[in-house]
Amino acid sequence: MGLLMKSVLQQTTNHLTIANDELLQPSSPPAHILNHCFMTRATNVFAKLCEDCKKCIEHSSSIHSTPSLDNFNSQIMFIDNDKRTSVDIALKHTNFTASCSFISAENEFKKNYSSNDLTKYQVKTKISCIPPQIQQPLLLKKQGVSGESLETSMQQNMNNTPIVKYDKDYSSKQLIKGAIMDNDFLKNIDASQVKELVDSMYSLTINEGQFVIREGDVGAHLYVSAEGEFEVEKNGKILGIMGPGKAFGELAILYNCTRTASIRVLSNARVWVLDRRVFQQIMMRTGMQRIENSVNFLKSVPLLKNLSEELLTKIADVLEVEFYSSGTYIIRQGASGDTFFLISQGMVKVTQKVSGTLEEKEIRILRSGDYFGEKALINEDKRTASIIALEPGVECLTLDRDSFKHLIGDLSELKQKNYGDENRALAMRYAERTKEICKANAKQEFPNLKLSDLEIITTLGIGGFGRVELVKACQQDRVDIFALKCLKKRHIVDTKQEEHVFSERTIMMSCNCPFICRLYRTFRNEKYVYMLLEACMGGEIWTLLRDRGSFNENTTQFIIGCVLQAFEYLHARGIVYRDLKPENLMLNENGYVKLVDFGFAKFIGSSNKTWTFCGTPEYVAPEIILNKGHDMSVDYWALGILIHELLNGTPPFTSNDPMKTYNIILKGIDMIDFPKHMSRAAIQLIKKLCRDSPVERLGYQKGGIQDIKKHKWFLGFDWDGLQNQLLIPPFLRPVTCPTDTSYFDKFSVDSYEPPDELSGWDADF
- In sign, the C-alpha dihedral spanning 480, 482, 488, 493 is negative
Interval 49-87: pLDDT, tens: 334 344 433 433 333 333 333 333 333 332 333 333 333
Q: Smallest Cα–Cα separation from 614: which of 466, 190, 604, 764?
A: 604
User: Which residue is catalytic, options 579, 597, 631, 635?
Assistant: 579
For 305-328, the three-class secondary structure string (H helix, E strand, C coil) is CCCCHHHHHHHHHHCEEEEECCCC
460 is in an annotated binding site: yes
421: annotated active-site residue = no
For residues 223 and 282, the answer to whether their CB atoms sit within 8 Å is no
Q: Report the number of distinct structural domains present in the chain.
A: 4
In a shared domain, residues 571 and 711: yes
Interval 683-704: pLDDT, tens: 999 999 999 999 999 999 989 9
- Asked if residue 734 is part of any domain, the answer here is no
In a shared domain, residues 606 and 715: yes
Interval 341-362: pLDDT, tens: 999 899 999 999 988 777 889 9
In a shared domain, residues 666 and 586: yes
462 is in an annotated binding site: yes
H-helix or E-strand containing 345? strand 339-345
**Domain end position, chosen among 400, 417, 434:** 417
For residues 367 and 342, the answer to whether their CB atoms sit within 8 Å is no
356 is in an annotated binding site: no
In a shared domain, residues 170 and 231: yes
Burial environment of residue 261 by CB neighbours within 10 A (0 to 12, 13 to 18, 19 or more): middle
Give the model's confidence band at 279: pLDDT under 50 very low, under 70 low, under 90 confident, else very high. very high
Q: Smallest Cα–Cα separation from 363: which of 335, 333, 399, 323?
A: 333
In a shared domain, residues 396 and 456: no
In a shared domain, residues 130 and 163: no
Give me the domain span that covers residue 518: 451-723
CA dist., res. 633 & res. 171, Å (int): 41
For residues 303 and 342, the answer to whether their CB atoms sit within 8 Å is no
209 is in an annotated binding site: no
Interval 7-45: pLDDT, tens: 323 333 333 332 333 333 333 434 333 333 333 333 222
CA dist., res. 643 & res. 581, Å (int): 10
CA dist., res. 384 & res. 333, Å (int): 5
**Domain end position, chosen among 282, 316, 338:** 282
Residues forming a β-bridge with 211: 264
DSSP state of 457: E
- In sign, the C-alpha dihedral spanning 290, 296, 297, 301 is positive
For residues 529 and 491, the answer to whether their CB atoms sit within 8 Å is no
The whole-model pTM stands at 0.77
CATH number (domain holding residue 504): 1.10.510.10
Comparing 135-139, 192-196, 406-410, 667-671, the range with the smallest average pLDDT is: 135-139
Of 566 and 129, which is predicted with more confidence? 566
**Helix, strand or coil, per DSSP, at residue 46:** coil
DSSP state of 329: E
Count CA within 13 A, CB hemisphere, residue 740. 12
In a shared domain, residues 100 and 125: yes
Residues forming a β-bridge with 206: 269
pLDDT at 59 (0 to 100): 38
- Asked if residue 737 is part of any domain, the answer here is no
Maximum CA extent, the chain = 110
Query: What letters, b where the CB count within 10 A reaches 16 and e where it falls short, cover 679-693?
Result: eeebbebbbbbbbbe
- Asked if residue 570 is part of any domain, the answer here is yes
In terms of DSSP bridges, do strands 128-129 and 16-17 run parallel, antiparallel, or are they unpaired?
A: antiparallel
- In sign, the C-alpha dihedral spanning 334, 335, 338, 342 is negative
In a shared domain, residues 187 and 119: no
CA dist., res. 307 & res. 310, Å (int): 8
Burial environment of residue 730 by CB neighbours within 10 A (0 to 12, 13 to 18, 19 or more): middle
CB under 8 Å to 652, separation ≥6 — which residues?
A: 641, 644, 669, 672, 674, 686, 690
- Asked if residue 732 is part of any domain, the answer here is no
373 is in an annotated binding site: no
Can you tell me the mean pLDDT for 473-478? 83
Interval 741-761: pLDDT, tens: 999 988 887 778 899 999 999
- Asked if residue 555 is part of any domain, the answer here is yes
- Asked if residue 196 is part of any domain, the answer here is yes
**Helix, strand or coil, per DSSP, at residue 125:** coil
In a shared domain, residues 42 and 96: yes
CATH number (domain holding residue 220): 2.60.120.10
**Domain end position, chosen among 267, 282, 297:** 282
Interval 377-410: pLDDT, tens: 877 768 889 999 999 999 999 998 888 888 877 7
For residues 87 and 102, the answer to whether their CB atoms sit within 8 Å is yes
Give the model's confidence band at 617: pLDDT under 50 very low, under 70 low, under 90 confident, else very high. very high
Comparing 101-110, 147-156, 177-186, 189-198, the range with the smallest average pLDDT is: 101-110
Q: What count of other Cβ atoms lies within 10 Å of the Cβ of residue 326?
A: 13
Can you tell me the mean pLDDT for 184-198? 94
- Asked if residue 101 is part of any domain, the answer here is yes
Residue 583 has pLDDT above 70, yes or no: yes
CA dist., res. 179 & res. 225, Å (int): 9
Q: Smallest Cα–Cα separation from 626: which of 294, 282, 316?
A: 282
467 is in an annotated binding site: yes
**Helix, strand or coil, per DSSP, at residue 58:** helix
Can you tell me the mean pLDDT for 478-492? 94
In a shared domain, residues 477 and 405: no
> Phi and psi dihedrals of 400, rounded to 5?
-90, 160
Interval 419-474: pLDDT, tens: 444 444 444 444 444 444 434 443 447 888 999 999 999 999 987 788 999 999 98
For residues 672 and 687, the answer to whether their CB atoms sit within 8 Å is no
Cα distances (angstroms) measured from residue 549 to each of 33, 174, 333 = 34, 50, 60
For 250-282, the three-class secondary structure string (H helix, E strand, C coil) is HHHHCCCEECCCEEEECCCEEEEEEEHHHHHHH
Give the model's confidence band at 154: pLDDT under 50 very low, under 70 low, under 90 confident, else very high. low
The one-letter amino acid at 501: V
In a shared domain, residues 531 and 668: yes
Can you tell me the mean pLDDT for 258-276? 95
pLDDT at 729 (0 to 100): 96
- Asked if residue 28 is part of any domain, the answer here is yes
Is the backbone of residue 639 left (phi > 0), alpha (psi -120 to 50) or beta?
alpha
In a shared domain, residues 588 and 658: yes
